[in-house]
Structures are given as structure tokens and as C-alpha cells.
Amino acid sequence: MNLRHLLSCVFLLGFATCLVAQPARQAENWHFGNGYLITFGNDRPTLSGPSAMVALEGCVSMSNERGEIQFYSNGGGRGIDQDIDGVIWNKNNDRMFDWATFRGGGISARQSSIAFPAPGRPNVYYLFTMEDRENAQVNRPPGNGLSYYVVDMNQDANLGKVTEERQTYVPNVVEALDATAMADGSGYWVIANLDDGGNPKIVTIPVTADGVGAPVNKDFPFLTERYTFSPDGNFLFASDNLLAYDNATGTPGEILRNFPNSNSVSAGFTADSRFMYLIESVDFGIPRLVRYDLEDFTRLEVALLDEGFTQGAPTSAFQLGPNGNLYYLESEVETGSQNTFILLNEIACPSNSGPDFRRGVLRIDAGNSSFGLSNLPQYVDDIFIGTSLADTIILEPLTIENCPDTDLELAARVEGNAYLWSDESTDSILVVREPGEYCVTITNGCETTFDCQTVIPTSAPTADEYRLSVTATRGEICDGREAIVRVLHVANDTTPVDIVFFDGTRRDSLLLTLAEGDEISATVTDSCGATNELIFLTAIEGCTCDDPVFPEIISANQDGLNDEFRAFSECELTDYSLLIYNRWGQEVFSTNTYTEGWDGTTDGKPQNVGTYLFLSSYRIEGMGEVMSVEGQFSLVR
């Protein structure tokens, strides 16, 4: 099973230092060409050094998942005309393994070598090499074909050692060599190009924890100079053709599309495997950098390559970097001299709606060396899955209420390096007044976010939608009676944001005694800051009085509800008396004050629950007749 993210922690002096281990960091150091080294330690390509690499075309440069270089190789050498040794170098730039000029692959093979971790064997790698056509036909016919080597980094004080060598494991294959991860993550499919007496075949070799399996030859529509797998292993590009590939069985499928105008050895996939980049020559051979969406083959022209170019076409295949961007090399001959410069060209944000082609992010002076025409190191590109960002992120729409004639600041909801609002403004904040939809495109590196915010008139109540509510604490509203004053919404009785009563107090309600002719007022403020003054004129008369009320039951449990028996009246009572008897006719309570009630005790002792009798007489204020009443009530606890 592939573990796409690991965490390595080292404990030093009681503290844990953790390094994030990521598959893409296996491509963090690029040794290639004539002693060139590019590193990606800060996610940007940086020309570094030194390097002992001597490579004409294909090469490998293997780091571990912490970005630490392990080894690099040109894949093989060549004798007779150039006498260049094939070498595996260790991280100290010393020779770990020497093929000299007669073993290994061919230094001019477009894909001279590829390396990947050995399944189930920590710190151990497989290195496969491929013969070049000239060696096979001229220098050392029939050539060395495909060979493989096991590099054990646990050996030689972690500088590495070749512990297994299988020279010419597959004969009669040249130039094209690639590999992709198996669908279940258990290993790799290594493929090579075979001309079987005019019958093109693809050679497939499984590599698992059990080792290197037997080669299987399968018919293939054509010979090719280069294979290119998509990172997810579902596509294979070869000789102007895009094919489906079954990475569960290691079997190429149907041709999905032919690209007759493409540079057949320059195809590159994005890390999400959705897009493929090609160099196409149309319109009298003018090279163009184009991108195809593999969902519907929509074509996007990214750059016209002859503008300002000395050569135009690339001198290397595309290669994904650990930052998710695509790279290729271009050779530029200085005007007026034979001096050659190698340009590292970059396609930043390759999966975004607007990829950014950057010519010459690095410019290497190659002098007049013939080693300038090199390929970048080759990798099994499944290590880059997850390094590219998704399509434009579209945030959920946001609706914001705003008050009339009020400035409202709309802020982009994510941070970015650049902002573009629908009115062409470029600040992170847009000030608006009118209702409507306002959208901003936020760019942050390769990430693009689309944020739309809709402004609508506020639905909050306005200040003129409130009223003064005056309610007597008992009975009707009348002169001299206590009342509660509140400010309430006319429809739903909600309160406003702020209330200031006529006495200067800020509160939800006001308790006062009503008097004929008083003016009660309050100033209310709504959520938009608008104010309104509400006035209540107490044009009221004196209260009319009804007979007092005697309760039918008291609980006498001191809970504040029905705790005593007495006369309850809205008016003053005079000539008042109250007598209470138990069921045996014994007097338990008497009073001449109508506001004094019986609490269910006699001489401080609680009386039994049950039925009690009462006699009362009273005169209502303003009336001449003394009234008498008798009855019964219940005491409960």
C-alpha cells in the first residue's frame, strides 16, 4: 500500500523535531546534463552545486521522502566516439558504481534510466537502465537492452551500494523506458519498447515485494522513442498518441486520440492527471505550448513559443517538479557567439484556468558544450499526486443585509496575493451602498477562489414600527395606579436595539404610578441607527372599584403564590374586619387591616390542611354602605 504522507520525528534534548515526509520530495534534487544541479528546497527551482553528473539525455536523480539526495546516474555510457562512462554517483558525488563504457544503458537514450523505491524494502531502490539506438546499432550491437540494479542505501555507511545486477534482463529494446505504480499500490509496472522483427511490442515487467517479475511482451500499435505515463497511471502517451492504460493489469488500452502536430517526445501531465501539455507546430511550423483537458479534449493555447526564442522547441521532455509545476529545458544560442545557454522553462499553476508560462526561470551558461542538450531527471510520476491544486474554489454565496444609504465594507473571505472584484477594483475590501451581487476572484499562488456576496435591504424593524405599551399591574389603567411601560414592535412585540425613557434611563421597561395628564415618552433606536420618539398621554380618569376578591384556596408554602388568605381589592377598604375559623369553630385568625392576610399558622404553629370558614365586613372607599361576606376556603400545602 502506498503511504502518501509520512511523519518522521527526531527527539533532541527532550523536544520533538518532526520532518514531513512526502513522496514528491523524492524529486527535490535534480542532477542532470554536464554537472548541473537544481534544488527545490523552498519550492522554487534554485541552481545549486556541485554535481558530478555527465549525461547527454536521460538521467535519474533520486532523493528520499525527506528531500535528501540518495544517488544519481546517467544510466550508462558510450565508447568508441565519445568514451563516456556510465556511473551511479552517491550523495557525496563519488562513484558508487561504474559501468564504464560497456555496461548499463546508453547515455544517448531518451529515457536512459528510471528509479523507484523497492516495495517492502526500506531505503532500497531499483534502478532500470535502457540502451540507446546508436549503441545498439553501431557501438556495441545488439546493445545491452534493459538492465536493472538494486541500490541498497543501508550499505556503506548509508552512502549506498549496488547489491544486485541484472545486465540485459530484456534484450533488443532501445530508447523508451517508463514506469507507473500499480493500482493497488503493491508495486510498479516497468515498460520498454521492443521492435520484434517489424512487429512493435511493449514489454511489461512487474516489480513487487517479491522482486522483478518475468517480462511480458504485448502487441503495440507502433514503435516509439519515449513513453510518458500520467501520474495516476490511467493514461500513456507515445508517438503522438494518447492511450488508455489499465494500471491494475499493466495493459495498454485503446488509442483515445492522435495529436499529429505534436512534438512526439514532449508530453507532460499535470499532477492531478486531468491535463496534458504538448508542443504543437502549426501555421508554418510555429511551435505553440498547448494544454488539453483530458475530460473532453478542450484545447487551450498557453504560449506562442517563437516569440523571442532562438530555437523555440524544447530540448527536453516535460517533467513535474515537487511543487506541482511543469518544467522543460530549452537551448538558446547567444547571438554573435557560439555560446549556449540552457533555459529552465516553467508552467506554473498548470491545472488552473489560467496557467502561467514562465520562460527562463533559470538560465545556465553551458558554454559551447555539447552536453547542453540534456533531459531533466525522470521519475515515476505517481509521487506527484496531490501536489497540484484543484480547480477554482467556489465559496458558498453569502447574503448580507445593509441599512439604507449606508456604506458597507465587503471583505474577501479568504486571503490572497491578488483580488479582482466585479467592478474591476483590486483591493481586498470593497465599499458598497446599493443592493446587488458583488463577486471577487482571489488568487493565492496557484489557488483561485471565487467569492460572491449579495447585499439586500435590511429586514430588521425600523424605528417607526414600534409603539408604547402601558399595562396596569392590576386591573385597569387609571389615575394613581401602578403601570409597566414597554416599547414593543407593532407586529411581533420584539424590542428595539436601544430605548431611552423620558427619565433618561435605558432599560427594557419602566414601572411608574399613573397620574392624570402625565406624558410618558421614549426614544427608540433601530439596528440602522434611526430614531423615533414615542409619546403616551395619560388622559385617564379615576379607577372604578369592584367588590374585593377572597381566594378559594391557599397553599401557605412560602413560594410567593397564594400564600395567604385576605381580601384583594383595587380600592381602599375601610371599616374592615376578617375572622377565620377551623372546622370545629375555633378562631385561628382575626384582623382589621385589609392588607394583612392569614398565612396558615396560629401563634406560629402551622394549622392542619382542610376547609376553613371566614367572616368579613368592609366599606369600599367612596361608598356609604358596609358590606358583609362569609364563605369557606381550603388550606393545602
Q: Is there a cis peptide before residue 350, judged by omega within 30 degrees of 0? A: no
Residues 426, 324 within the same domain: no
511, 537, 563: which is the final residue of a domain? 537
What number of H helices and E strands is found in the chain? 1, 52
The CATH number that applies at residue 562 is: 2.60.40
Residues 339, 409 within the same domain: no
Examine residue 581 and state whether it is found in any structural domain, yes or no: yes
Residues 275, 311 within the same domain: yes
Examine residue 599 and state whether it is found in any structural domain, yes or no: yes
Residues 217, 80 within the same domain: yes
Residues 439, 564 within the same domain: no
Residues 89, 202 within the same domain: yes
Structural domain range at position 439: 401-457
Residues 226, 244 within the same domain: yes
Examine residue 16 and state whether it is found in any structural domain, yes or no: no
What's the pLDDT score for residue 237?
A: 96
What's the pLDDT score for residue 3?
A: 31
Burial class (CB in 10 A: 0-12, 13-18, 19+), 62: buried
Report the alpha-carbon distance of residue 386 to residue 388 in Å, rounded: 6
Examine residue 473 and state whether it is found in any structural domain, yes or no: yes
Residues 137, 284 within the same domain: yes
The CATH number that applies at residue 232 is: 2.130.10.10
Report the alpha-carbon distance of residue 114 to residue 122 in Å, rounded: 18
Residues 483, 377 within the same domain: no
Report the alpha-carbon distance of residue 363 to residue 382 in Å, rounded: 28
Residue ranges in the chain whose pLDDT is less than 70: 1-21, 79-82, 138, 264-265, 283-284, 306-315, 335-338, 368-373, 387-391, 474-475, 538-544, 622
Residues 452, 467 within the same domain: no
Examine residue 7 and state whether it is found in any structural domain, yes or no: no
Residues 327, 415 within the same domain: no
State how many domains the chain has: 4
442, 457, 472: which is the final residue of a domain? 457
Examine residue 527 and state whether it is found in any structural domain, yes or no: yes
Residues 530, 566 within the same domain: no
Examine residue 528 and state whether it is found in any structural domain, yes or no: yes
What's the pLDDT score for residue 332?
A: 78
What's the pLDDT score for residue 21?
A: 56
Residues forming beta bridges with residue 196, ordered by sequence position? 199
Report the alpha-carbon distance of residue 381 to residue 385 in Å, rounded: 8
